[in-house]
Amino acid sequence: MIRIQGVLVSPGEGGVYGERTIGDYRVWDPYRSKCAALLLLGGEIDLTSSMRVLYLGAANGTTVSHVADYVEVVYAVEFAPRPMQDLLEVCRRRKNIIPIMDDAGRPDHYACMVEEVDLVYQDVAQPDQAGIALKNAIFLRPGGTLVLMLKTRSVDIRQSPQDVLDRTVEVLEAGGLSVREVRWLEPYHRDHAAIICEALK
């Protein structure tokens, strides 16, 4: 990952959402992107030019655009019509983003469009976040990586964030993923944790 003067950046054309630029690089704000927060906090993931990524919960394409600056292709899944309009604008400037308007909980709907990927990145605010991750793990190559950005308050507001995290890890491991790292995203995002998993070979 590229840093300039301690600032995380991505190598691409600027002006996607009003982000600051440093020369030919776009500043990747950790307060606007949980992926940037994870990378700045030392999360053990990397984005390379040969990677294929399935991004669940693409929203308006802010983080997707930065990921696309680094990788070969991004399959960007978003269900809501309004964010999808913004995502389509991003796709006009990033030809390696393939927008898919569908429910991330129904991967059978878009299986015909997605090839085997190196990384599944999930940022979906639904109660069954672990279940959605496991359903989409079918797209991972053996040894591939799944990153679940866990929004604990979306799972169960009655439980503590730590209890929600512990239970989610149990579900992922019971579903056949190997949890490699868990990292809270404070101070950038409150009650959010990144769970980095590996697909079993």
Binding site listing for S-adenosyl-L-methionine: 62-63, 78-79, 103-104, 123-126
Closest CA to 123 of 197, 44, 193: 193
For residues 183 and 15, what is the distance between their CA atoms, to the nearest angstrom?
30
Write out the binding residues. 62-63, 78-79, 103-104, 123-126
Q: Between vectors from CA 94 to CA 92 and to CA 95, what angle results, nearest 5°? A: 80
Peptide bond into 187 cis (omega under 30): yes
Beta bridge partners of 21: 26
- List all residues 6 or more positions away from 156 whose beta carbon is below 8 Å from its beta carbon: 127, 164
- 192 phi and psi, to 5 degrees? -115, 140
Q: Which two tokens mark 163?
A: 């209890």
Query: Which runs of consecutive H residues, i.e. helices, occur in the chain?
Result: 34-40, 62-70, 81-93, 129-136, 152-155, 161-174
